[in-house]
Amino acid sequence: NAQRAGMLMALTSNMARIAGKEFDQLDKLLVTNLRRYNIEKLEWDVLRKSKVAIVDNREFIGTDAVRLLDADEFTDLARRNNPGFDRLDVKKQAKLLEREREQLELNYRKYVVDQVDEGITKVGAREKAALYGNSKAGTPVGEIARMFWQFKSFGVTYVNKHLRREFSRDGV
């Protein structure tokens, strides 16, 4: 959990550090990653207006920061995603603005959680299935498989998660 917390702090601190940049000024790999989570220029412009939390003199854009933004910040997103937005009554507009807020918060939360998970070499379900097959913990076959793979699972996880991700990135 300390690794996850450290990765989370580093990632959200970096987001706060680069919040002053326009979308087209961001690193190419970051833009590629953000786009995987439907965070484009308009979403970035809203996200970077999020309230920055300060902890121990370090700034962070946490996953709840989007929720704290004023609803008016989502107007451009609502106009882009809902033709005729300006012709709707105030109640319907408010509903659409809230939907845009929830969607951006969800996308940013998914981005952060996935990036933290990608940054940590922790055996996942895919690796366990490949290593242990159908064997069950507590059975002789299952325990032998777990004992055999105990110190080899890190390498398998590293290759499966990190190397596979790096070789499949755009431009590699």
Per-residue pLDDT tens over the stretch 118-129: 877 778 888 888
According to the model, what pLDDT value does residue 172 have?
A: 44
Report the C-alpha gap between 158 and 172 in whole angstroms: 18
- pTM of the entire predicted model: 0.79
Average model confidence (pLDDT) across the chain = 89
Q: Exposed e or buried b for every residue in 25-52, given b needs 16+ CB within 10 A?
A: ebeeebbebbeebebeebbbebbbebeb
pLDDT above 70 coverage of the chain, percent: 98
**Range in 28-32, 98-102, 152-156 with the lowest mean pLDDT:** 152-156
pLDDT band at 106 (very low <50, low <70, confident <90, very high): very high
Considering only CA atoms, which of 62, 71, 67, 70 is closest in space to residue 104? 67
Which stretches of 7-121 are assigned E, i.e. beta strand? Answer: 53-55, 58-60
According to the model, what pLDDT value does residue 49 have?
A: 93
The answer to whether the CB of 102 falls within 8 A of the CB of 64 is: no
pLDDT band at 169 (very low <50, low <70, confident <90, very high): low
